[in-house]
Chains A and B, each alone.
Chain A
């Protein structure tokens, strides 16, 4: 194959000419703009990090992490204990729902469906799910699980279900990529030795792809942890700490969202402290994901 035959780019000038001053200037200018554009993209990151650290650290204290919000506008506004516990529980349950289903669908796509029409339809709709705004997932769960009245009112587990809908396409897509990377030689060797497909999947394919699956799941978890909109009218918010997922639950994003809209400086300070906590939690999940994928690559 000669790549030049298929070249879609217009043919550049064919004569060798000395580079004129004007072309040199254009080149310099354009390169400068590219540098500047990249710098510009990083300005908001620097500003967000700066304000998060300077305002957030000021709010941090032992009391901040060990007390619940008091809900009072005068005096001590309290800390974010219930929000941290709520976020951890809701996100863990969401992961427990989304990861098995997501990996299962990915296994179907790589091991059974392959390029069939049905598999491609499933792929298409998973991409559609990726584009659905998170607040629409929240609405859907509200309609199905709360408005219908059969499951009671607002509850932590309903927030988890809403988040798991958000994670599902991310897990599926990343798992499919990883499962496709398992060498087909391994599959063929297993089948040639007489292993049935289910054992091949459980004993060969899944263990080989494990680090990649873990990375994809952790990244999906990190994305879900910061979501506010799906929790607004599913898990709702309370001040007190609860470990019961059948009740309303507080969470960091909701706590921040509610605190931002208060006029009290001390409550706004709590929002900054909570925001720093949330960003750090997401960063840790992201770093873990990278670490897992790096270790598997060096092995």
Chain B
């Protein structure tokens, strides 16, 4: 009789002769983890709001548009316009992309299509090691090795091709080009890693079809591999761009930190990230200067946000089209 009531009280769940487990820890864990996830969203919202509030004095003084388009960044006169910094950020990132992307894509194609199997693991690891070197070490290397070695070469280039726009004149030691070159080195591993992942998903049928039709190895790459992975490569390039825009310390050390728009690629410049790293220490006592630097951080944040959103769009699209291409519908 007693067993009967026990079973009916537990709704028939009791089969194995053990007490039904309590539901409380389950709820606690579920809500705990959900709160943690919600905490991330709150954190990012808080992040944005606090940056904006602290940057407010700068926007009040110079206006939102005035701050972004202002052409003068002058600490001694308390005049802050971020345009030279934005231009510097864009120039160095553009140089990084122009040099870095072709190299990164070449590495990815080489490792997926041409490399002898025995070498593949080794070379892949070596390229990844480029990402393990900290930014400040690239900066150190840039200041004491790259800049002095590169100066004669860039001076010759500048003299020979002075008829081109933005090239010519005296080459400064630290300059935009050096910053871009260091950034290029730093974005190669991430861009090539993502490109490799995308290229690895190209269906073997496509490649075999190209080869069977008599294509050479390169023609197979050009007609089967590259078109198929184009969206993924574009996404990888955008992620690299995001990295280049936000990179701070290495650029700070090799760009010269002059808050003006240089007349050539080989002039000294400044970037948004570099100005924060350099001036924040002395700005703590001057509210307007501090607000201007935080505003520069906000501009940087928004810029990387936009770039990453575009990148994500491309990468997601590439993943989706490939999933369909392989016949798995999610």
Contacts and interface: CB of A to CB of B under 8 A. Distances in A.
Secondary structure type dominating chain B contacts: helix
B74 interface: no
A282 B134 contact: yes
A260 B140 contact: yes
Given A42-B127, A131-B307, A132-B304, A31 B114 contact: yes
A172 B312 CA distance: 17
A288 B326 CA distance: 35
B25 interface: yes
A27 B114 contact: no
B214 A104 contact: no
B301 A112 contact: no
A184 interface: no
Contacts of B224: 9, 12
Contact of B134 (A23, A104, A226): A226
Given A9-B227, A34-B109, A144-B50, A48 B141 contact: yes
Nearest to A258: B136
Nearest to A272: B140
A258 to B, nearest CB: 10
A275 B326 CA distance: 46
B206 A275 contact: no
Contact of B213 (A1, A13, A268, A272): A13
A233 interface: yes
B102 to A, nearest CB: 7
Interface in B177-216: 185, 188, 192, 203, 205-206, 209-210, 213-216
Interface string B6-48: 0000000000101001110110111011101111110010010
A128 B205 contact: no
A105 B129 CA distance: 29
A132 B306 CA distance: 11
B271 to A, nearest CB: 11
Contacts of B114: 31, 34-35
Interface stretch (B152-160, B165-173, B242-250): B242-250
Given A47-B145, A105-B40, A27 B216 contact: yes
B111 A113 contact: no
Given A127-B312, A226-B134, A109 B326 contact: no
B209 A4 contact: yes
B180 to A, nearest CB: 13
Which of B138, B140, B222, B305 lies at the interface centre, i.e. has the most chain A CB atoms within 10 A of its CB? B140
A140 interface: yes
Interface of B: 16, 18, 21-23, 25-26, 28-30, 32-34, 36-41, 44, 47, 50-51, 54, 102-107, 109-111, 114-115, 123, 126-127, 129-130, 132-141, 143-145, 185, 188, 192, 203, 205-206, 209-210, 213-219, 221-224, 227-228, 239, 242, 245-249, 253, 273, 276-277, 280-281, 284, 293-294, 297, 300-301, 304-305, 307-308, 311-312, 321, 324-327
Given A38-B111, A140-B51, 10 more contacts: A3-B205, A3-B325, A12-B215, A17-B214, A38-B107, A131-B311, A133-B301, A222-B132, A257-B136, A283-B132
